[in-house]
Structure 1
Amino acid sequence: MRRLRQLAERTPPGRERYVDLLRALAITMVVLGHWGVTAIGYDHGRPAGHSALADLPWAWPLTWLAQVMPVFFLVGGYANAASLAARRNRGGTATGWLVDRSARLVRPTTALLLVLAAGATVATVRDADPGQVRTVVWFATIPLWFLVAYFVVVASTPPMYALHERFGLAVPAVLVVLVALGDLGRLVGPAGLADGNYLFAWLAVHQLGFAWFDARSPEHSRRRRLPLSRRAGAVLLVGGLVALVLLTVVGPYPVAMLHVPGERLDNAAPPSLALLAAATAQLGLILLLRRPAGRWLRRPGPWRVVIAVNAVVLTVFLWHLTAAILLIGLLDALGVLPTPPVGSAAWWGWRIPWLLALAVMLAALVAVFGPVEARTRRPRATGPADVGGRRLRTTLAVVGYAALVAGLLLNSLAPKAAPEPLGLPAPALAAYLAGAGLLRVLRSGWGSRG
């Protein structure tokens, strides 16, 4: 508590605290959504989970608010723009920013992967079914799908912010057009055109975060600034909802913004035009609540809670499905794992104790692994390097990020039941650790002077 009070007291007056609140709320909603919508049953005598949304069609419109990944990319854009601008004001470089930015993301992710690989190895040595081991690890690493996109977006921040400085809000507009073209490929072919939406959609939302950051500086041109008035919020909310209804109720897109088994299209994988309409409505709601939320966050108590959550926010996200696996395994071993039919009174009655038990399990994991994320250090002060040295560092930083993305992507694309002694494909783990190690060497100051 003393540490939290100190951090709260040192908060700069100009900090947009609302961004921190939104990040904490977004991850909390993701965790509660995954936990709450999971239905547990048995498959060939083994516990198995699946989404209950297919059995709850009345809840599909609720996903317009519950699908909060756009919020995370929005606040990510704001935070990345603010951090990059601060680094440049101190005389730093985009490469230095990129290298240091990786630390907060890489450390907790590496901890998760190493622990899962170690646990899978022990299970394999003890004659566990390698296919079952892989299935468990695959489920635990589902959150890494998000990190694949976010690593790419972070690595793209310096050039994309340069585009924002030149073209402003025209950049996300072009990206939305590209998403629409990808969706056209999904609807009439070729379906492969939609693969680019994994990047274009999240980049579009991330660019709006840049525009939000620039809105706090009057010297920036209007085309670079996001309008923050309540009127703008109302227009975005109503416009987003109208577009969403037209695209889903009238048009070809599913109503649910999360994956529903059996649906022809998935609005989230890859992100669709309908998901961007939902993101527009969410942005409008965010702007409408901005001022009252800002006043509330000036109170010490709420602000300290936001600081505490954000100190371990990635740890919470990364480990929340592992918490579910551990709880399911424990209850199954004790012979008390409840598997009521989805929608039944017993299923609904189990929701509250289920969430509370998962929260306790996750709290224990965060207590162990949270310090890995919370232990942040200020960037090393480095002096100027020669042109060749700067180019080398930039190249190595890009290679490091590419290896991280390749490793996580290989794991996510590998079959969930393929026999893997490590639980993860060995090439995936090797690529990720190589990228993490390379970025760690660069953060140590190698290749720079001073």
Structure 2
Amino acid sequence: MRRLRRLAERTPAGRERYVDLLRALAITMVVIGHWVVTAIGRDAGGQATGRSALGDLPWAYPLTWLAQVMPVFFLVGGYANAISLTRLRARGGDPAGWLIDRSARLIRPTSTLLLVLTAAAAVAWVGGADPTRIREVFWFATIPLWFLAAYLAVVVLTPPMYALHRRFGLTVPLVLVALVGLGDLGRLTGPEALSYGSYLFGWLAVHQLGFAWHDTHTAPPGQADPAGPPTPERRGVRRRRLPTSRRAGLVFLASGLAALLLLTVPGPWPVSMLNVPGERLHNAGPPSLALLAVASGQLGLILLLRGPAERLLRRPGPWQLVIGVNLVVLTAFLWHLTAAILLIGLLDATGTLPTPTVDSAAWWAWRLPWLLLLTAVLAVLVAIFGPVEARSSRHRGGRRAGRGGTPRTVLSVAGYAAVVAALVINSTTPKGASEPLGTPVPALLAYLAGAGVLRLLRSGWGTRG
């Protein structure tokens, strides 16, 4: 608590506290949402299994318009990345230094998760566990990594995409939305390969809005803009800034909701914004125009709630809570399904694991104790592994003087690419595959190589000066 008070007291006056609140809320909603819809059952062999109950709750599909908060995370990610990139450049840093610096907060907690899970899988395999069962448990525990793969890809592209933003402003996300629309057409009429780019284009579009939101907090009238002199391109960007008034919030909310209803009711897209097993089309895999309509509506809601939230965050208690959550927010996200696995295993071993029918009174009655128990287990995991993220958040590798030139840039991008490829391979490998280490060996090797390169670069290797 003392540290949180110190951090709260040192908060710069110009910090956009609302962005930190949104990040904390988004991840908290993901964690709670996954836990709430978890259905526990038993397979033919009597072993405990877990699955999503969403397919059995069609009445809840409209609720996913609020529960699908990944657009919020990419929005605030764009805002935060714009801040850190411009500040590093103001200190004389380069894009490679920025990528290396960002990798500390993102890669270290992820490496901890994967190494611990891989070690546990190896022990289970040596102990005689079925490799297929090992893969099933590993797959469930690493579901959060599909999102991290997309976010890391967006991070790698942040320097060039931010340059495009400075030149063309809101035209960039509009083009990306059009590309998602082309991908949707490919999914509906073929060829489906046209939609593959939407895995990147959809999240990039929301991330670019975060850049535009950041612009609204820079260069107030009468003050110098830290990003540079008022060139014609920069003046053009100011004219195309994201509107953030209350009226703009109402427009974003109404237009997003109208487009969403049109695309899902008479249109071809599912009402649910979360993947439902058995459906041919999914809104999040890859992102569809319907999901981008949700992003528009959520942006409107964010703008409408901004005033009350900012007043709340001026109070020490709420702001300290937001700081505390953000110190370990990635750790909580990465480990929340492992917490579910551990709790299921513990209750199963003690013969106290309930398996009520989804949507029954017993199932709903079990939700509250289930959430409380999971919170306790996750708290233990965060206490153990959270310091890795907390230390990473204090990493300031980008402050070091000197540049490594093109080789350093190439190596940093290659490191990210290897990590992203590893996470994608893991996420796309069937959960019924026979994998003694839980994840395919090529994925593990690629991850270790990529994370190792980024670790060397953070240590200063390859830097001149």
TM class by smaller structure:
over 0.9
Q: Give, as a single letter, the amino acid of the residue that structure 2 aligns with 1:52.
A: A
**Structure 1 residue 257 and structure 2 residue 258: aligned?**
no
**SS where residue 250 of structure 1 aligns?**
coil
Task: Please name the residue that 1:365 is paired with.
Answer: 381
Task: Choose from 262, 267, 271 the match for 1:246.
Answer: 262
Counterpart check, 1:401 vs 2:402:
no
CA distance in 1, matches of 2:239, 2:52: 42
**2:415/2:454 contact within 8 Å kept:** yes
Instruction: Indicate how the Cα distance of structure 1 residues 132 and 272 shifts in structure 2: closer, same or farther if over 3 A, else same.
Output: same
Contact map agreement 1:165 1:224 (CA 8 A) in 2: no
CA distance in 1, matches of 2:56, 2:431: 24
How far apart are residue 223 of structure 1 and its match? 4.4
Cα distance between partner residues in 2 of 1:393 and 1:285: 41
For 1:41-440, what aligned pairs fall within 5 Å after superposition? Answer: 41-44=41-44, 45-217=46-218, 218=220, 221-375=237-391, 376-379=394-397, 381-385=399-403, 389-440=404-455
CA distance in 2, matches of 1:406, 1:380: 25
For residues 222 and 378 of structure 1, what CA distance do their matches in structure 2 show? 30
Residue pair 1:175, 1:203 contacting (<8 A) in 2 also: yes
* Deviation larger for 262-271 or 18-27: 262-271
Please give the alpha-carbon distance, in whole angstroms, between the structure 1 residues aligned to 2:141 and 2:258.
Answer: 37
Task: State the SS of the aligned residue for 2:196.
Answer: helix
- Deviations 1:301-326, CA, capped at 9 Å, x for gaps: 00000000000000000000000000
* AA partner of residue 341 (structure 2): I
> Is the CA contact 1:244–1:278 (under 8 Å) kept in the aligned structure 2?
yes
Cα distance between partner residues in 2 of 1:318 and 1:39? 20
Q: Structure 1 residue 379: deviation in Å?
A: 2.2
The C-alpha deviation readout for 1:212-257, integer Å capped at 9, x for no partner, is 0011124653344211100000000011001111111121111110
TM-aligned CA deviation for residue 447 of structure 1:
1.7
Report the alpha carbon displacement of residue 381 of structure 1 after superposing the two structures with TM.
Answer: 3.9
**Residue deviations 1:404-430 (CA, integer Å, cap 9, x gap):** 111111111112121212111111111
Q: Distance in 1 between matches of 2:416 and 2:81?
A: 16
Q: Which runs of 5+ in 2 are unaligned?
A: 226-234
Would you say the 8 A contact 1:380–1:445 is kept in 2?
A: no
Asked if 1:446 is matched to 2:461, the reply is: yes
Question: Which one-letter code corresponds to 2:36 in the other structure?
Answer: G
Q: Which amino acid aligns with 1:24?
A: A
Q: CA deviation at 1:382?
A: 3.2
Deviation at 1:378, TM superposition (A): 2.1
Segments ≥4 residues shifted beyond 3 Å: 218-224, 380-385
In the alignment, the residues of structure 2 paired with residue 320 and residue 223 of structure 1 have an alpha-carbon distance, to the nearest angstrom, of 43
Whole-angstrom distance in 1 between the partners of 2:251 and 2:23: 23
Q: TM-score, normalised by structure 1?
A: 0.98
1:34 aligns with 2:34: yes
| Matched-pair contact (CA < 8 Å) for 2:273–2:283 | yes
- Counterpart of 2:228? none
* One-letter code aligned to 1:319: W
Q: State the secondary structure of the residue aligned to 2:162.
A: helix
In 2: Cα distance, 1:62 partner to 1:383 partner = 49
| Contact persistence 2:101–2:395 (CA under 8 A) | no
| Partner Cα separation in structure 2 for residue 398 and residue 344 of structure 1 | 50
Residue 371 of structure 1 and its aligned partner are, at CA, apart by 0.3
CA distance in 1, matches of 2:112, 2:285: 26
1:167-190 C-alpha deviation (Å, 9 max, x unpaired) = 000000000000000000111111
Residue 384 of structure 1, CA deviation? 3.4
Alpha-carbon RMSD: 1.1
Tell me how far apart the structure 1 counterparts of residues 458 and 312 of structure 2 sit (CA, whole Å): 37
Contact 2:98 2:398 in 1 (8 A): no
Alignment deviations for residues 24-60 of structure 1 (CA, whole Å, 9 cap, x no partner): 0000000000000111111121111222121111111
Secondary structure of residue in 1 paired with 2:146: helix
One-letter amino acid of the structure 2 residue matched with residue 145 of structure 1: W
Separation in structure 1 between the aligned mates of residue 211 and residue 385 of structure 2, nearest angstrom: 31
Residues in 2 aligned to 1:86 and 1:23: alpha-carbon distance in whole angstroms:
20
List per-residue Cα deviations over 1:362-411 (Å, max 9, x = no partner): 001000000010013222643334xxx40110011111111111111111
Identity of aligned residues (%): 72
Q: Does 1:19 align with 2:32?
A: no
- Normalised TM-score (structure 2): 0.95
Matched residue type, 2:26: A
Cα distance in structure 1, aligned partners of 2:91 and 2:168: 25
Matched residues in 1 for 2:239 and 2:168: separation? 7
CA contact (8 A) 2:88 2:398 kept: no
